[in-house]
Amino acid sequence: MISSRQKLILKAIIDIYSETAEPVGSKALMSLPYLDFSSATLRYDMAILEDLGFLEKTHTSSGRIPSEKGYRYYVDHLVTRDSEVTKVFPLVDKIFEKNTYTRETAIQEALKLLSELTNYMAVAVGPDILQARIKKIDFIPLGTTDAVLLIVTDHGHVQHQQIHIAEDMSTSDLKEVIKTLDDLLKDRLLSEAIETLKVEYAASELKDFMNYQARIIDSFIQAFSKFASDTFYLSGMTNVFEQPEFNNVSHIKRFIDMMDRREIIKLIGSDDGLSVRFSSDMEIIPFDQMTIVSVPYRISDDESGTIALVGPSRMAYKKVIPLLEYIAANLAKLYKDNKE
């Protein structure tokens, strides 16, 4: 196990490296008042930390940089919450206290502020709507050739999808189809709805009603997919590419593709509390030095969301964590206030 002095050295190296992105040597450490040791002593302890896998030595400098193991130890045992970050809390308060904002706008503004303050990418995922149950499926005719499908959940969420009515189909025929779908999907989880539709379509249950049932099925699948996308918020994606660690063009293309497919949702933490995930935890992440820090916010006993920051492993955890926690607390209150 590492000694108390080695813990101080590891913490100092990570704190300095998070600011400079440059390898840290003994000279930089000696300038810190709590590391008033000789250069030889500091270099000895740095060598021990390197042997233990907490630090790595670069080819271009005599200094050291933290390894993923070092970051994990830091997050689990050494990180402190920087009290200085409370100075920006009033900026967060201003967003959530602004009555003219809708909930969606407030979330977007909070993420924009978060990405600007940290220079990382900010992501928010709302309550897991796909775990809601379908309460009703209906439609509203828009003349003789168009209609709007409506899906209502037991959590009060409503989604709509416009469809075109075929020339050989009457409104009464469409009404019969919608009633069949309502009977088929009522009280099912949204997450089950798409698979149920595919299975029923494969069994040709709806074939008696129309020749273009596949188009209706696709319209419903699109509507169900919107439920998930409507609770996904993102700000500052280009911040990732401004970090010196992330300048590989092929990696950038893979990252953009991952974001387009919303795979980031799979990578952020659960509702169990603060989560810090490193590259080795995330197989689909294209970067070796990427980290996702996420904090959940609870809305009710069965609903929760998550706010997260995506950036380099050297991110300033002591500032990031309390800021995420504060915004998460405000997000929880925002959802509850909108329910009342």
Whether the pLDDT of residue 202 is over 90: the answer is no
> What are the tens digits of pLDDT across the range 60-113?
667 899 999 999 999 999 999 888 999 999 999 999 888 777 777 888 899 999
Question: Residue 122 — very low, low, confident or very high, per pLDDT cuts 50/70/90?
Answer: very high
Answer whether 120's CB lies under 8 Å from 310's CB: yes
Torsion angle, alpha carbons of 127, 130, 132, 137, to 10: 130
Q: Nearest-CA neighbor of 232 among 308, 135, 134, 132?
A: 308
pLDDT value for 17: 94
Q: Nearest-CA neighbor of 125 among 320, 337, 321, 295?
A: 295
Span 256-282, average pLDDT: 80
Q: Nearest-CA neighbor of 190 among 233, 234, 220, 160?
A: 220
Greater model confidence, 155 or 134: 134
Cα atoms in the Cβ-side hemisphere of radius 13 Å centred on 72: 10
Greater model confidence, 149 or 339: 149
Whether the pLDDT of residue 210 is over 50: the answer is no
Whether the pLDDT of residue 186 is over 50: the answer is yes
Lowest mean pLDDT segment, chosen from 4-18, 102-116, 160-174, 277-291? 160-174
Q: What is the mean pLDDT of the chain?
A: 82
Total count of residues recorded for the chain? 340
Q: Which residues pair with 139 in a beta bridge?
A: 149
> What are the tens digits of pLDDT across the range 279-331?
888 876 667 788 999 998 877 666 678 899 999 999 999 999 999 999 999 98
Greater model confidence, 131 or 115: 115
pLDDT value for 119: 93
**Domains of the chain as residue ranges with CATH:** 4-78 (1.10.10.10), 83-127+232-339 (3.30.450.40), 130-229 (3.30.390.60)
Out of 64-73, 90-99, 154-163, 169-178, the most confident range is 64-73
pLDDT value for 152: 85
pLDDT value for 225: 63
pLDDT value for 270: 65
Helix axes 213-229, 190-202, angle to 10 degrees: 160
Span 193-205, average pLDDT: 64
pLDDT value for 204: 53
Q: Nearest-CA neighbor of 152 among 56, 222, 205, 227?
A: 227
Distance, first Cα to last Cα, the chain: 52
Answer whether 74's CB lies under 8 Å from 317's CB: yes
Greater model confidence, 284 or 42: 42
pLDDT value for 40: 94
pLDDT value for 132: 74
Answer whether 109's CB lies under 8 Å from 94's CB: no
pLDDT value for 138: 86
Answer whether 268's CB lies under 8 Å from 262's CB: no
For the entire predicted model, the pTM comes to: 0.71
Cα atoms in the Cβ-side hemisphere of radius 13 Å centred on 134: 24
Q: Nearest-CA neighbor of 154 among 190, 184, 116?
A: 190
> What are the tens digits of pLDDT across the range 212-235?
556 666 677 667 666 655 577 889
Span 256-276, average pLDDT: 77
